[in-house]
Structure 1
Amino acid sequence: MTFVTVGTLEAQPGKRDQLIDILTRHRPELIDAGCLTYDVGVSDYHSNTVFVIEQWTSEEAHREALERTSIRSAISESMPLLTGNRGGFKFRVVGSPL
């Protein structure tokens, strides 16, 4: 079963696009770590919020990816751009009609 995280990150005013640039930077190591999809989105209704949907081969793969130097670096680079308001969910996929 795959593991999914769906999250929201609130950027400091005027910093959303800079945050998006960091989050969407090409990182082939994500694939090597077991990331199946990593989608970044925005909404007209939440101008400072960035939405992130990640699908992983397993929860363990996700946890281990967070320990990789390149991923830790991207997180550190993103932190000053955030307000600290974030939300989301983590879950294991149990089925699909597709």
Structure 2
Amino acid sequence: MNKFGMYVKFTAKPGRRDALAAILLEAAAAAESVPECELYLINLSETEPDVLWVTEVWSHAEAHAASLTREATRATIQRAMPLIDRVEPVQLKPIGGKGLLFSSAAE
């Protein structure tokens, strides 16, 4: 099964980036108990004051989709929505590199 990845650019409403970052960090901590979530990394942009980037890697796309149906995830999204001006997701297919285990780069 192929891994599933995403880069998500969150543009917070002016002055709300830190509050949004706190919620995303809570989501990252909660993801520790989800084995299919292999990476959930929150990044602050150094050039855009209202922007955060989230890097996600999941064992497969279905695991990511299932995570969005969990009640706790939906509640976190509802808390974050008032802080967000724009969301720009980019779906990826991770194939290899340092930091994650891959059964085969040719999957």
Q: Same fold (TM over 0.5)?
A: yes
Normalised by the size of structure 2, how large is the TM-score? 0.81
Residue 47 of structure 1 aligns with an amino acid whose one-letter code is: P
1:9-62 Cα distance to aligned partner (Å, 9 max, x none):
11011110000000001214x542610010000112110011000000000000
- The aligned counterpart of 1:44 is 46
Are 1:69 and 2:75 matched, yes or no?
no
What is the CA distance between 1:97 and its match in structure 2? 5.3
Q: CA RMSD in A?
A: 1.5
Residue 40 of structure 2 aligns with an amino acid whose one-letter code is: Y
Q: Which runs of 4+ in 1 moved over 3 A?
A: none
Report the Cα distance in structure 2 between the residues aligned to 1:88 and 1:70, rounded to whole angstroms. 21
What is the CA distance between 1:92 and its match in structure 2? 2.0
Residue pair 1:33, 1:65 contacting (<8 A) in 2 also: no
Are 1:27 and 2:14 matched, yes or no?
no
User: How many aligned positions are there?
Assistant: 95
Alpha carbons of 1:97 and 1:86: their partners in 2 closer, same or farther (altered >3 Å)? closer
- The aligned counterpart of 1:8 is 9
Identical columns (%) = 26
SS across alignment from 1:47: coil
Report the Cα distance in structure 1 between the residues aligned to 2:53 and 2:5, rounded to whole angstroms. 13
Residue 50 of structure 2 aligns with an amino acid whose one-letter code is: N
The answer to which structure, 1 or 2, has the higher relative contact order (CA under 8 A, 6+ apart) is 1
Q: Select the structure that is richer in strand.
A: 1
